[in-house]
Amino acid sequence: MPIHPSGGVSGAPSRAPEHSVAPRPALPIDRRTVVRAAAWSVPVVALALAAPAAAASGIAPVAPSRPTSTLVFDTWQSNAHWDGSGHRTGIDTRIQVQNTYWTGSGYSTVGAPVPTLSVRVRYPASSRVGAAPVAISGAGWSFTTAVADGAGSIEYVFTWSGQALAPSQSTPQLTYTLAAEVPGQVQLTATASAPNADTVAAPSWGDTVY
């Protein structure tokens, strides 16, 4: 047998018998214990993975919005602009937008004030309009931008802002002139929109330039 140092006072080695401990029999595993362990461990892992992603995004949920006003075109008319020699060298356009009094399903609710709104007017490629209006008037109205598409059409965006437009009130009339080559009849389209109103299209009775 091997010699092991003992913890005696003299420090002399002593012989200690070798012995081994027999393993205890394994206790039976309760199935309910396993199920409980699994049920508690899954939510902990899921939370650890989901929480950092939500915290990193920093984006608060956005509540769905509902339109509280309804817009209509009060005035929508365009005509060819003639120079002193009788040539059509441009297009004059007049627009006025109203915040209607009634809104909602069945028009049963009084509309809310409109703080600002925008109008988009599209000119077909055949009109060959210029890059920006050569003249514009109307209190609160301003020219925002012109955007061309791949087909050669150009959309002009105008913005109105001022004292909130109360229900039943209309904007001041927007009047502007575009330099253009008007070959004949030109058909335009326009829309109006506001932060608290759906987009509406201009009526067809004012969409043709003669």
Segment 47-88, tens digit of pLDDT: 232 333 434 445 554 434 678 999 999 999 999 988 888 788
Which position has the higher pLDDT, 59 or 131?
Answer: 131
Which residues have a Cβ under 8 Å from the Cβ of 209 and sit 6 or more positions away? 78, 79, 80, 91, 127, 182, 185, 186, 187, 188
Residue 164 is predicted with a pLDDT of 95
Residue 156 is predicted with a pLDDT of 96
For the chain, what are the domain ranges?
71-203
pLDDT at 34 over 90: no
pLDDT band (50, 70, 90) for residue 43: very low
The end-to-end CA distance of the chain, in Å, is 120
Query: Domain 71-203's class?
Result: mainly beta
Mean pLDDT of the region 139-162: 94
Average pLDDT along the chain: 77
Residue 66 is predicted with a pLDDT of 73
pLDDT over 90 for what percent of the chain?
47
pLDDT at 124 over 60: yes
Residue 82 is predicted with a pLDDT of 85
pLDDT at 121 over 80: yes
Angle at 126 between CA 120 and CA 130, to 5 degrees: 60
| Alpha-carbon distances of 129 from 161, 163, 176, rounded to whole Å | 26, 32, 13
Residue 25 is predicted with a pLDDT of 52
Mean pLDDT of the region 97-113: 86
pLDDT band (50, 70, 90) for residue 198: very high
Residue 39 is predicted with a pLDDT of 42
Residue 160 is predicted with a pLDDT of 98
CA 164/CA 113 separation, integer angstroms: 6
